[in-house]
Amino acid sequence: MQHSTLAVRATDGTPIHVNRWLPEGSPRAAVQVAHGMAEHSDRYGRFAEALTAAGFAVYAGDHRGHKGTASTHDEEGYFADKDGWATAVGDLVSITETIRAEQPGLPVVLFGHSMGSFLSRAYAAEPAGRELAGLVLSGTAGDPGALGAVGGVIASLQGRIRGRRHRSGLMNTLSFGQYNAAFKPNRTEFDWLSRDPAEVDKYIADEWCGNVFTAGFYADLLGGLRAINSDALVAKVPHDLPILVLSGDQDPVGDNGKGPTAVAEQYRRAGVTDVTLTLYPGGRHEMLNETNRDEVTTDIVEWIDRLLD
């Protein structure tokens, strides 16, 4: 496996930091990784090792407001002054364009985890989504309903009163405060991520993980989450796009499997013909860092292999 980094120029000129892992031989396909909130693409090196061993090129960018693209903690947890959600989705498209330039003719599969799965669902409804060979959604969530709407109002109000760059401890508590409740007695604040204590400890020790984000970010995120769960947006997803939805059935982000199940069913109702849902018993939020991560990774590789047959 060959590893390098590159800067992809976004449409507004922002350099997006991207990790690139290439197999030793000619790649059979490319996998683009969209990481979750308050983490970063460096954490996907082990996943990339398995993907490159299977013959796939892997490209994983850091979203705006995250590690390599933010570059300083002052810029952490913030998308943009306006149209932050659409801008972050557009950044994913810019990365795909770079992949296609470097790997002409290769099918591109988009893998999104958690917030990255939300962005990926928005991407799939864009015109660029018609060019994807497959979509993998890890740790995704369903419609936040009234609570999401209220949260969006609170975040927007905070942004107007205290500034969009205000670090919102209130929104952090409202969003994540209950995630650990099911796993008492709690060893850490992040037990909900994985059953593997070593993986949880690595997350906690990482200065670019688990930090408090801005009011503007939460307003963008919750607006985006409402949009991707709307029937109108889902109707724009290509009917022939193969979609794999995977989650732990104890993932609080997905309401213990209810959210991913609702997402898969909504795609099927909209006419998407190839939708696979896999819920892993006992699994929490980060299935790539769970105790059965090898099983999960093998399942993903086999699913992509099926697309290439």
Domains of the chain (ranges; CATH) run 2-142+228-308 (3.40.50.1820)
Residue 152 has what pLDDT?
Answer: 66
Residue 164 has what pLDDT?
Answer: 82
Smallest Cα–Cα separation from 218: which of 37, 16, 90, 61?
A: 37
Residue 146 has what pLDDT?
Answer: 56
Residue 31 has what pLDDT?
Answer: 98
Residue 150, CB-side half-sphere exposure with 13 Å CA sphere? 6
Using a cut of 0.85, tell me whether the model's pTM lies above it.
Answer: yes
Q: Contact 205/249 with Cβ under 8 angstroms?
A: no
| Alpha carbon separation from 272 to 87, 144, 235, 239 (Å, rounded) | 26, 22, 9, 4
Using only the alpha carbons of the chain, give its radius of gyration. Answer: 18
| Alpha carbon separation from 138 to 24, 215, 283 (Å, rounded) | 27, 25, 12
Q: How far apart are CA 267 and CA 223, in angstroms?
A: 20
Residue 102 has what pLDDT?
Answer: 97
Tell how strand 29-34 and strand 56-61 pair up: parallel
* Other Cβ atoms within 10 Å of 223 Cβ, number: 17
Q: How far apart are CA 272 and CA 266, in angstroms?
A: 9
Q: In terms of residues, how long is the chain?
A: 309
Residue 163 has what pLDDT?
Answer: 74
* Tokens representing residue 198 in the block: 């070593």
Block mean pLDDT (10 aa), the chain, length 309 = 97 97 96 98 98 98 98 93 96 98 97 98 97 98 73 72 81 82 93 98 97 91 92 98 98 96 98 98 98 98 95
